[in-house]
Amino acid sequence: MTSFETLDLIEPIRRALRDENYTTPTPIQAQAIPHLLQRRDLLGIAQTGTGKTAAFMLPLLHHLATDRRVNAPRSVRTLVLTPTRELAIQIGDSARRYGRHLALRGAIVFGGVGQNPQVQVLSKGVDVLVATPGRLLDLMEQGHVRLQDVEFFVLDEADRMLDMGFIRDIRKIITQLPKKRQTLFFSATMPPAISELAAGILTDPIRVEVTPVSSTVELIDQRVLFVERADKRQLLAAVLRDPAVARMLVFTRTKHGANKVVEQLDKDGIVAEAIHGNKSQGARQRALESFREGKCRVLVATDIAARGIDVDGITHVVNYDLPVDAESYVHRIGRTARAGASGHALSFCSSEERGELRDIQRLIKREIPVADIQPFGIKPSTAAPASVRPERAPGGRPRRSGGARRRG
């Protein structure tokens, strides 16, 4: 079995991994790191939680440390672009931890906060810059950062960049990068626009694919519960009465919905926090830290805000609202059952959401069983309505419905 000690990483990085008690690389790390040490471009198809941050950060820190250079003012050697502030902070924290025994300079830039501290750090030049696209473009236009010296470029969560409308900004940033560079491109899914973008910026890439989006984590116990929308509040409070629910992530479709769930839980005496785009950066960070440290048991999030959440020990994921995009279901439930632990995913499905459930079951190629909720003291539903069970075409493949899909 591969271990970090057998990978050709320099000793200071291996020592940092020992400090973190990391011994065995994840599949994407074992597959990607040897190629990245050879300075190959990489197309990585992987979801959050597969260990992709270490997969790209460890070899890049290795290159930076073995080829030290004096940073010119406002220059950058490694640029990591990521869609959310939370994810930028987490990647920057990982870089600091893995590079703790290296004398490298790093910076994290994102919007929603004052730019002066970021400008001050960038003024001396940095080895690693982790940035969100909007703030980086602002700083570039003001002349506070130069990308002509970038040697390593990482585009992370490319499909989420597309969802959030960042592709135009990314293309502007790429035009300022030198042609000669090592490029690493990561995405959980590969819609046509993302495939086109990858083809345009990668040179003879190695392709690494782990946990395809159409498959779900085997250790996750997935259940659905049929409940009318007006009864979801009561049901969530009942689920939280189970002492086995140690740390729960709840997904809503809208920002207003997230706030409403937190207000309702507060009335029930349950400490919860919300995280979404309308929250200030400080409020989002405080909510995330409270959740990570166990001060609050429930974090309520929208899909875009949750993309940057990487917290161990989440025992339960609840889809309070089913996602309109079936692939988001896989991203959501993947927040639990990490590092070999088991996890539970419970979906609340109202009569208006049966179309979304049908799409999810088609994607994952299985029928999600109905939850046995008797332990929560609520009368259980009899069975899934026949209309939401995946129709099977000859040969066992799900049959497409002829009706128009409701977009919610």
Give the 3-state secondary structure of 170-235. Answer: HHHHHHCCCCCCEEEEEECCCCHHHHHHHHHHCCCCEEEECCCCCCCCCCEEEEEEECCHHHHHHH
Place of tokens 């020592």: 15
Q: What is the CA radius of gyration of the chain?
A: 22
Gap between the Cα atoms of 384 and 255, Å rounded: 29
Q: What is the pLDDT of residues 65-110, one digit of tens each?
A: 999 999 999 999 999 999 888 889 889 999 999 999 999 999 999 9
Asked if the model's pLDDT at residue 257 lies above 50, the reply is: yes
The whole-number pLDDT of residue 150 equals 98
Whether residue 393 is contained in a domain is answered as no
Q: Residues 165, 269: one domain?
A: no
50 burial via Cβ count (<10 Å: 0-12, 13-18, 19+): buried
Q: Residues 264, 380: one domain?
A: yes
Q: How many domains does the chain have?
A: 2
The domain boundary, picked from 181, 209, 237, lies at 209
Whether residue 405 is contained in a domain is answered as no
Q: Residues 25, 109: one domain?
A: yes
Q: Residue type for 129, please? A: L
The whole-number pLDDT of residue 373 equals 63
Q: Residues 36, 112: one domain?
A: yes
Whether residue 402 is contained in a domain is answered as no
3-state secondary structure of 77: strand
Asked if the model's pLDDT at residue 370 lies above 70, the reply is: yes
Tell whether the torsion through CA atoms of 112, 171, 151 and 145 is positive or negative: negative
Whether residue 400 is contained in a domain is answered as no
Q: Residues 272, 192: one domain?
A: no
Q: What is the pLDDT of residues 170-215, one digit of tens each?
A: 999 999 999 999 999 999 888 888 999 999 999 999 999 886 544 5
H helix or E strand, kind and range, residue 292: helix 281-292
Token pair recorded at residue 230 = 């007006």
Q: Residues 160, 305: one domain?
A: no
Q: Residues 58, 95: one domain?
A: yes
Whether residue 162 is contained in a domain is answered as yes
* CATH number of the domain where residue 76 is located: 3.40.50.300
Determine the structural domain holding residue 267 and report its residue range. 220-388
Q: Residues 384, 250: one domain?
A: yes
Q: Residues 200, 263: one domain?
A: no
Share of the chain above pLDDT 70, in %: 86
Give the CA angle between residues 57, 51, 212 to the nearest 5°: 125
149-163, 211-225, 261-275: least confident range: 211-225
Token pair recorded at residue 41 = 């471009």
Whether residue 74 is contained in a domain is answered as yes
Gap between the Cα atoms of 200 and 156, Å rounded: 16
Asked if the model's pLDDT at residue 408 lies above 50, the reply is: no
Whether residue 395 is contained in a domain is answered as no
Q: Residues 262, 376: one domain?
A: yes
Listed in sequence order, the DSSP H helices in 67-205 are 85-98, 116-122, 133-141, 158-163, 167-175, 192-201
Q: Residues 275, 133: one domain?
A: no
Gap between the Cα atoms of 313 and 267, Å rounded: 26
Q: How many CB atoms lie within 10 A of CB 23?
A: 11
Q: Residues 205, 224: one domain?
A: no
The whole-number pLDDT of residue 116 equals 96
Whether residue 397 is contained in a domain is answered as no
The whole-number pLDDT of residue 308 equals 60
